[in-house]
Amino acid sequence: MVTKPKKPSEIRAMRQSGKMLATVLDLLVKKVEVGVNTKELATIAAKELRALGGEPSFLGYQGFPDVLCVSINDEVVHGIPNPKRILREGDIVGLDFGVTYNGMITDSARSVIAGKPKGEVHVNLLKRTEEAMMTGISVVRSGVRTGDIGNAVQESLAGYGYGIVRDLVGHGVGHYLHEEPNIPNYGRANTGPWLEKDMTIAIEPMVTLGKEAVKVANDGWTILTVDGSWSAHFEHTVLITDEGAEILTALNS
């Protein structure tokens, strides 16, 4: 489905969905500690979201078995929570979560380091990936093209020697978890589909310390870097306006 401009009632539902999502992710970030297992994080997310009145968008989506994706180090995205997967000192932990409220969906992700970072290179990777997401968001407005967003993300990361994952991209979101068009994290300005006011999209750079190539793990879900390099992932759902973008998945938006 191609993402459509959302009606006022749908935008209100997405704002509420996004607030719930941001509340849960804020809590999860605080719970990322050495010794915690990834299934514990999913259990916390499910409990908190239930108390807030939302529904998990990921659970059962194309067969995904849990409410939350938890991806560690060389796992770029789609990691399945596992009680045997224990967080260790310095792990880069990607938390990806989706919320449905009144039939409308938002999608967001953050990366955080468990305990003490292994080095400044990891701190900078997270900082620059988040900055790249915000740079992409900064060019959004009615009449923007997907290539404008991708180019902004790519240029923000130029010169650092990172790999920008190309096989995984942002997307429209709202009525469905994944709507057309794709929102790549690379490309040429003034190319790609046009976007208009009241459309809602997810912008989500996935960046590695090595090459961009990825592969699917044996579990059929987890996406890994081919070269074993560690990665970071940040994502916001935004509403396109005449003047810019309203971030729906942030508490202070």
d(CA 22, CA 54): 12
What tens-digit pLDDT sequence spans the chain (253 residues)? Answer: 899 999 999 999 999 999 999 999 999 999 999 999 999 999 999 999 999 999 999 999 999 999 999 999 999 999 999 999 999 999 999 999 999 999 999 999 999 999 999 999 999 999 999 999 999 999 999 999 999 999 999 999 999 999 999 999 999 999 999 999 999 999 999 999 999 999 999 999 999 999 999 999 999 999 999 999 999 999 999 999 999 999 999 987 5
HEC profile for the chain? CECCCCCHHHHHHHHHHHHHHHHHHHHHHHHCCCCCEHHHHHHHHHHHHHHHCCEECCCCHHHCCCCEEEEECCEEECCCCCCCCECCCCCEEEEEEEEEECCEEEEEEEEEECCCCCCHHHHHHHHHHHHHHHHHHHCCCCCCEHHHHHHHHHHHHCCCCCEECCCCCEEECCCCCCEEEEECCCCCCCCCCECCCCCEEEECCEEECCCCCEEECCCCCCEEECCCCCEEECEEEEEECCCCEEECCCCCC
User: What pLDDT, on the 0 to 100 scale, is given for residue 252?
Assistant: 75
Does the domain at residues 8-247 carry the CATH identifier 3.40.50.720?
no
> Domain residue spans in the chain?
8-247
d(CA 225, CA 73): 9
User: What pLDDT, on the 0 to 100 scale, is given for residue 90?
Assistant: 98
Q: Which of 115, 70, 109, 74 is nearest to 93 (CA)?
A: 70
User: What pLDDT, on the 0 to 100 scale, is given for residue 253?
Assistant: 55
The answer to whether the beta carbons of residues 96 and 75 sit under 8 Å apart is no
